[in-house]
Amino acid sequence: LLSLADVATCRLKERLVESEEYVLVPEGVWQKLVSWYGIEHDQPPIERRVVELPSTQKVEVYLVELFLCQHNDLENPVTAQFSRVDAVDAVLKEARQQFAVAAQAETQLWVKNADGSCERLRNLQATVLDACLSSGQVVIMETRNKDGTWPSSRPHLMKNAVDEETTYHGQPGVCGLTNFGNTCFMNSALQVPDGEGRGGQCGAQRRLPLQFWGCSQEGSVGWDFLTFAG
């Protein structure tokens, strides 16, 4: 079986094609397959959500991948993935954890736009979607100085954002497009099949398994599925 993802990181391979490399199935079908074939030892389920978007619900196959960095170390960003329905606060918490920021330290986030300018993410309760964050964007975390000032009070520090030559080469959305800049264009989720129902039946914001592997000594059997709540 050719894996569709890295087991350790749960990161999907790029450009997966629905109905060729995976299929969407109800959660009950996923559970039945696991009961029949078992699951690879120590393989964590790769979970995806059915997310509520304006006028529709979609299975969120590819998450939003952001580059996180500190204001005083812009040359060494780390990547992190978030759901479009995650709050901006989740981005801040991940950045604080990645950079081992002291619990008592005050921090805030800035997003680097396509034109190189930086905009503060003030509403931590807004979702990643509402904040118009898209894959490939740089999010800068600044920490308040001991004298009570913020590094952003000195504009040259924030202007010196990650090298302009740094480009995003991550996976495009399932529809074949890649987001750049501060846009709300959604292209990296799959619409829940009409035959499986809409509205509350889709179980918005539920995390569900994505990949299934089953194998035996006599011969390997493998399946790869995306599931959504039925």
The pair of three-digit structure tokens given for residue 200, joined into one six-digit string: 């509350």
Domain spans in the chain, listed from the N-terminal domain onward = 5-60+189-228, 64-159
CB 221 within 8 A of CB 215: yes
Residues 164-211: pLDDT tens digits? 434 444 444 443 333 334 444 333 333 333 334 433 333 343 333 443
Instruction: Judge whether residue 54 has pLDDT over 50.
Output: yes
Q: 214 to each of 24, 42, 117, 192, 223, how far by Cα in Å?
A: 18, 12, 49, 26, 7
State how far the Cα of 27 lies from the Cα of 45, in Å rounded to an integer.
13
Residues 23-51: pLDDT tens digits? 888 888 888 888 898 877 776 666 778 88
What confidence category does residue 212 fall into, taking pLDDT thresholds of 50, 70 and 90? very low
- Say how many C-beta atoms besides its own lie within 10 A of residue 187's C-beta: 16
Query: What is the CATH architecture of 64-159?
Result: Roll (3.10)
Considering only residues 184 and 22, tell me which one the structure prediction assigns the higher pLDDT. Answer: 22
pTM score of the predicted model: 0.64
Residues 99-154: pLDDT tens digits? 999 999 999 999 999 888 999 999 999 999 999 999 999 999 999 999 999 998 87
CB 178 within 8 A of CB 136: yes
Q: What pairing do the DSSP bridges indicate for beta strands 23-26 and 220-228?
A: parallel
